[in-house]
Structure 1
Amino acid sequence: MISDKSIQERHFPTTTCFGCGPANPSGMHVRSYRADDDTVVGSFTPGPDHGNGLGLVHGGVISTVLDCHSGAVVFQAAIDRGWFSEHSMVAPFVTAGFDVSFLRPTPLGPSLDLWAHIEQLTEQQVITNAELRFDGKTRVSMRSIWKRLNPR
Structure 2
Amino acid sequence: MTEYETARHVVDGRQQLVRTSKESVQNDERLLIVTDDDRSALSFPTEDNTPVTSFVATTDLTNSSLALFQAHHSSCQRFDAYQILRRPAALRVHLCTEPRPADEECQQETDRSTLLAFKFPFDGSTLSELETVVSSECRSRFGPAPNGGTN
Relative to the length of structure 1, the TM-score reads: 0.29
Higher relative contact order (Cα pairs below 8 Å, separated by 6+ residues):
2
Q: Which has the higher strand share?
A: 2
Relative to the length of structure 2, the TM-score reads: 0.29
